[in-house]
Amino acid sequence: MDEALLKQALEFGKPYTGKGEVASYIPELSKADGRELGICVRTIGGEEYHCGYWQRRFTIQSISKVINLAMALEHYGFDAVFHKTKMEPSGASFNAMSRISDNEDIPFNPLVNSGAIAIVELLLPLGLDHMLSSVRGLCSDKYITMDEDVFKSEWSHSARNRSLAYLLQSKGLIDGNVDETLLLYTQLCSLSVTAESLSNLGQVLANGGVQPETGRRLLKEEVVRTTLTMMLTCGMYDGSGEFAVRVGLPSKSGVGGGILSVVPGEMGIGVYGPSLDSKGNSAAGQKVLEYISRTEKLHILDRYTRHPVSASETF
Ligand code: GLU
């Protein structure tokens, strides 16, 4: 891994910025420049490599679901979390209602909106301030704040998530705090991060929950294992299967354009590319990750057959 490789990967990904569009269902997000692309890598040995718009601030959006899941598992345990959602890929869009509208069903997993909203109710006793300082700690980024403009924009266009929340309440999956739950969920989606912050979070996850620089354990090992498994199977919405074949790394996307990827035991990767495909995943970001994964043989199933390969052999 080096910066030259990241540069090549961004060059490879750039044409795909034109194949998507920035999110507009949250009006404030439509102000992003879809041509931007950046990446940051943090190894567990402490090296950092970056390229392009790696310092651009953008809202974390659905990548907050990873932190919410990890925090809920850490504080309330496996049973409390998986009482509210299943652990299955949904095969449906991120804000789908159809799959939970049947009487007996609960959300498919904690990384789609319905499941994430149900999980956030568990976090209400911790509150926004505690969550914010945990996010800052996990991302080693003290400059993370709530982007008020994006928050207001999403809050005033939250009919879909509001209906999901009421549906969850009708099923007894949210006790009664619909407004408070939705508020915290939306605030946590509006935290502003960079590709570098995401790579720092990925580094902690890659290192089994211990921050390499400080030696501090931030998350239990089994919390990290469960979180990474959910990311691998469900982190890219209804694109999770194809992404697992092409990239093969536990990852989570957000409609702000971010992707968090983890190479277990090796490194965290943060990507920013706000032009999204039809599933809500960064169009070019996925291609950048595919390039790196194939060139460096990072697919988790390549561990058993890994040997050096040149980019020209692959593409
Ligand atoms: N805040 C967004 C929503 O709830 C998150 C969606 C996403 O990033 O995929 O619609």
Provide the pLDDT for residue 158.
94
The closest alpha carbon to 258, from 181, 144, 170, 168, belongs to 144
Q: Has residue 314 got a pLDDT over 70?
A: no
Q: Does the C-beta of 254 come closer than 6 Å to ligand 1?
A: yes
Asked about 30 being catalytic, the answer comes back as no
Per-residue pLDDT at 309 exceeds 70: no
152 vs 59: CA distance, rounded Å? 13
Distance in angstroms (rounded) separating the CA atoms of residues 310 and 294: 9
In a domain, 183, yes or no: yes
Length of the chain, in residues: 315
In sequence order, what are the residues at sequence separation of 6 or more whose Cβ sits closer than 8 angstroms to the Cβ of residue 69? 81, 110, 111, 116, 119, 226, 227, 230
pLDDT of residue 305: 72
Residue 33 placed within a domain: yes
Tell me what pLDDT residue 306 has.
62
Assess whether pLDDT exceeds 70 at residue 315: no
185 included as an active-site residue: yes
**312: in domain:** no
Q: Edge-to-edge, what's the strand order for the sheet holding 251-253?
A: 48-52, 38-43, 267-272, 258-263, 251-253
Whether 307 maps to a domain, the answer reads no
The finding on whether 60 has its CB within 6 A of some atom of ligand 1 is no
What does the pLDDT look like over 159-212, one tens digit per residue?
Answer: 999 999 999 998 899 987 899 999 999 999 999 999 999 999 999 999 999 999
- Nearest CA-CA partner of 187 in 26, 96, 61, 29: 61
Q: Parallel, antiparallel, or unpaired: how do β-strands 192-193 and 58-59 relate?
A: antiparallel
Provide the number of structural domains found in the chain.
Answer: 1
Q: Report how far residue 13's alpha carbon sits from residue 141's, in angstroms, rounded to the nearest whole number.
A: 27
310 alpha carbon – ligand 1 mean position (Å): 37
Please tell me if the CB atom of residue 161 comes closer than 6 angstroms to any atom of ligand 1.
yes
Q: What is the CATH number of the domain that holds 77?
A: 3.40.710.10
- In testing the pocket of ligand 1, which one of 26, 65, 111, 151 has its CB within 8 Å of the most ligand atoms? 26
Cβ-based neighbours of 71, under 8 Å, separated by 6 or more: 123, 126, 131, 134
Does 303 map to a domain? no
**Is residue 276 included in any domain, yes or no?**
yes
- Asked which of 7-16, 59-68, 92-101 is least confident by mean pLDDT, the reply is 92-101
pLDDT value at residue 304 = 75
Residue 309 lies in a domain: no
| pLDDT mean across residues, the chain | 94
* Annotation says 237 is catalytic: yes
Instruction: Kindly tell me if the per-residue pLDDT of 313 is higher than 70.
Output: no
DSSP type of residue 142: T
Domain residues for 170?
Answer: 3-298
Residue 193 inside a domain? The answer is: yes
pLDDT of residue 101: 63
Take atom 4 of ligand 1 and give the residue whose Cα is closest.
Answer: 113
The C-alpha R_g of the chain, in whole angstroms, comes to: 18
**Using one digit for the tens of pLDDT, what is the confidence trace for 212-236?**
999 999 999 999 999 999 999 999 9
